[in-house]
Structure 1
Amino acid sequence: MGSRPSTRGVGAALVAAMCVAPAVTGCGSSGAKAQTPPASSTQPGTPAQAAPAGRTQPPVVMPSGPKAHFTFSHRTSGGPIMVTTLKGARSGVTGKVWVWLPPEYKDPRYARSGFPVLMLYTGNTGVNYNFWAHEEVEPIQRTAVQMAKRHKAHPFIMVMPVLQMSTRQDTECSDIPGMPKMGTFLGDDVYAMVRANFRTLPGRDGWGLGGASSGAFCAVKLALQHPDRYRAAMSWAGYFEPEPQAGPRWTARQMRANSPTEMVRKHPDVRLFLLAGDRRMFRADKDRITAFQRLVRPPTTVKVEIQKNGGHYTADLAKLLPDILAWFTKTLPGPVPGR
């Protein structure tokens, strides 16, 4: 995935940045049930505040298991990254999933609070790797902590799975006959694992997807494919048509079934944030956004941000992290601590 810089490749700097050489128990709580009283939650774009006296906590889905086995992966300035090897019950795929919990997650004040979730998909092939989990590539955890302290962003649970099993199997986060069912792994199995192990928010409103380059295609595709599960998706330097380059060739029907361009014509209730740079050599990134934007109709909504002199490199993406986290904060509710 993402091997052609003119369309969706990550570019030399991104490829170089991705070549990074890098015991926490699971967070499940078997038998707990969802708490669903009507309650106040944070308004979009506002920091989490303690619930006023006499008012109930916002709804929270408590983890119910099965409990995943997480181990310590590595440390960032924003806190530790955990990792688990997930054996997908529905997909049959086994792949790594990295998770970062914001500092507030273990704060006693938030012990009965649900947190919004961001699924983050890496660029390039995403084989046994996800650059969002590595601060030296994309410092999103550090940025999130800094913004939360300034009341500029919600504390999000960040989930960072692999995208495919082999560089020779360009699955495009889809279920293609004869290939690993990565669409089911990412859309069903990873989603179910997060709900089973962490305190989340009920319904779809607390769930967002984000991706870079190849991962941006995945974020938009899965959001449009599962509008009952995800409220919002962010795409940086992405594309909106499948571009399989390896393994068995797709049929025209398979291409249409996994095309965000086709899915958006059904106008699902999803919010999209599309970003790209205007640097001349990466003009295709901007042009694809412009073409896709023309197809959007309510209730689908789209916000576009074109980065002046921006390109298709991790250094460009790093500059956009505050805007991305601010958009997700305005779009998704945040946790509310108790007293």
Structure 2
Amino acid sequence: MGLTSNNVLWLAVAFAVLLFVGTVWLWPRLARRNWRAVSGRVGLLLGTQLALFMSLGLAANQAFGFYASWADLFGREKDQGVVVNHTALGGSGGPLQVVDTARVRGAGGSPGAGPRTGGQIQKVDIVGRTTHIATPAYVYLPPEYFQPQYRTRTFPAAVVLTGYPGTAEALVDKLHYPATAQNLAKSGRMQPMILVMLRPTVAPPRDTECVDIPGGPKTETFFAKDLPNAVLAHYRVGRKPGSWGIIGDSTGGYCALKLAMHHPGAYAAAAGLSPYYKAPIDPTTGDLFHGDKGLRNRADLWWCLKHLPPPNTSLLVTSSRIGESNYKATLKFIGRVEATKLTRISSIILDSGGHNFNTWRREIPATLQWISGRLSDR
């Protein structure tokens, strides 16, 4: 029986109830002070608590979709996703300041290798010139960025977003974006790219859903204008729209899709890993729209596909047949985008995989190759 099976949950609940009843029933018989009675009491209490925690864990997994299978739970799901196309078709200073540098962990080069061999990760602070939003980020620079033969070359760039609340460090240490990008480029499966990694939560702890909130943070404007301008002011990044892409998981995936659909002149391609397609309203977001119906509609990708001209951009969405709550919505989204005839749509659909890092690690190599193939370095 699968991890997400109702039968497994009910068996765990039944086992916990039986242990509890058994503990109550046997307790008088174990009231003596010899070692066997004491061991029996400890064993019953421990077993009951473990069974209870197991039941709660299975129920939470059912509700939130953390893991899709036993293999997923224990990290044994290793098959990587495959993209399926559904459509034919330098300077310094400025609003970005480098505060720390580190080598790329887990990628090529020895521990003492310099950036020409191993690339570099720079921790930066970014301040939006128009929105005045300030947020930390990590910038991955590939080895080619430092090599003399590429000193006049510009590179394509991809913004990489976490989910909510998320941490930018997780993109480096848990999802391994820099190491994966370096290994793919080294093997010739993608072009060298600059990665700008941060979380969409630019006004913590509030979840702004990449919306320009009336009277609040102009998050969409920050990601569409201020962030690219800050990076362009500091790094050798291509200045044409075709040089920029954006990737995100969960909330970051929704933001990535929305930003490319709203601003195809800024982002030529967007990948949403386990995305949703409409901004939620809950205690973490607060009132995002303040009664502005037009703003609320723009945050609904279904409404955008139906009422706005189709954007000239490329989109990638991912899901799993078992373990992801967005599976049916993702198939519907693919169909809606295909019908536009202009926006390109691709997908990665896994057989199983929950809403978690292990699943996204399986999708990231194919995602990076896909977005690399849609960006230019000029």
TM-score range, shorter chain: 0.7 to 0.9
Question: Structure 2 counterpart of 1:134, which letter?
Answer: V
Structure 2 partner of 1:56: none
Pair 1:132–1:223, CA change in 2 (3 A)? farther
Q: 1:139 aligns with which of 176, 192, 195?
A: 176
SS at match of 2:138: strand
Q: 1:81 aligns with which of 91, 114, 121?
A: 121
Structure 2 partner of 1:288: 329
SS at match of 2:200: coil
Moved more, 206-215 or 95-104: 95-104
Question: Structure 1 counterpart of 2:97, which letter?
Answer: H
CA shift for structure 1 position 5: 8.2
Structure 2 partner of 1:153: 190
For residues 254 and 99 of structure 1, what CA distance do their matches in structure 2 show?
Answer: 31
Pair 1:201–1:87, CA change in 2 (3 A)? closer
For residues 164 and 285 of structure 1, what CA distance do their matches in structure 2 show?
Answer: 22
SS at match of 1:71: strand
Structure 2 partner of 1:49: none
Q: 1:104 aligns with which of 135, 141, 144?
A: 144
Structure 1 partner of 2:162: 122
Structure 1 partner of 2:56: none
For residues 329 and 62 of structure 2, what CA distance do their matches in structure 1 show?
Answer: 12
Pair 1:256–1:131, CA change in 2 (3 A)? farther
Structure 1 residue 248 corresponds to structure 2 residue 248: no
Q: 1:72 aligns with which of 100, 104, 124?
A: 100
Structure 1 partner of 2:134: 94
Pair 1:91–1:100, CA change in 2 (3 A)? same
| Aligned 1:295-314 pairs, distance under 5 A | 295-296=336-337, 297-314=340-357
CA contact (8 A) 1:206 1:332 kept: yes
For residues 170 and 67 of structure 1, what CA distance do their matches in structure 2 show?
Answer: 23
User: Any unmatched runs of 5+ in structure 1?
Assistant: 14-61
Pair 1:316–1:12, CA change in 2 (3 A)? closer
The count of aligned residue pairs is 278
Deviations 1:70-89 (A, max 9, x none): 02155432444212222211
Structure 1 partner of 2:359: 316
For residues 61 and 264 of structure 2, what CA distance do their matches in structure 1 show?
Answer: 30
Question: Structure 2 counterpart of 1:87, which letter?
Answer: V
CA shift for structure 1 position 65: 5.6
CA shift for structure 1 position 184: 1.6
Q: 2:199 aligns with which of 162, 170, 176?
A: 162
CA shift for structure 1 position 93: 1.4
Q: 1:259 aligns with which of 282, 293, 300?
A: 300
Moved more, 112-121 or 318-327: 318-327
Q: 1:214 aligns with which of 251, 257, 261?
A: 251
For residues 220 and 5 of structure 1, what CA distance do their matches in structure 2 show?
Answer: 27
For residues 326 and 183 of structure 2, what CA distance do their matches in structure 1 show?
Answer: 29
Question: Structure 1 counterpart of 2:330, which letter?
Answer: I
For residues 6 and 90 of structure 1, what CA distance do their matches in structure 2 show?
Answer: 43
Q: Larger relative CO (CA 8 A, sep 6+): 1 or 2?
A: 1
CA shift for structure 1 position 168: 4.8
TM-score, scaled to structure 2: 0.68
Quote the sequence identity (%): 27
Moved more, 192-201 or 256-265: 256-265
Structure 2 partner of 1:278: 321
Structure with more of its chain in helix, by fraction = 2
CA shift for structure 1 position 220: 0.5
SS at match of 1:70: strand
Q: 1:177 aligns with which of 190, 196, 214?
A: 214
Pair 1:194–1:90, CA change in 2 (3 A)? same
CA shift for structure 1 position 6: 8.1
SS at match of 1:234: strand
Moved more, 81-90 or 296-305: 81-90
For residues 203 and 239 of structure 2, what CA distance do their matches in structure 1 show?
Answer: 34
CA shift for structure 1 position 290: 1.2
CA contact (8 A) 1:10 1:213 kept: no
| Aligned 1:24-39 pairs, distance under 5 A | none
User: Any unmatched runs of 5+ in structure 2?
Assistant: 1-59, 69-89, 108-118
Pair 1:111–1:80, CA change in 2 (3 A)? closer
Structure 2 partner of 1:226: 263
For residues 324 and 184 of structure 1, what CA distance do their matches in structure 2 show?
Answer: 25
SS at match of 2:336: coil
RMSD between aligned residues: 2.5
TM-score, scaled to structure 1: 0.75
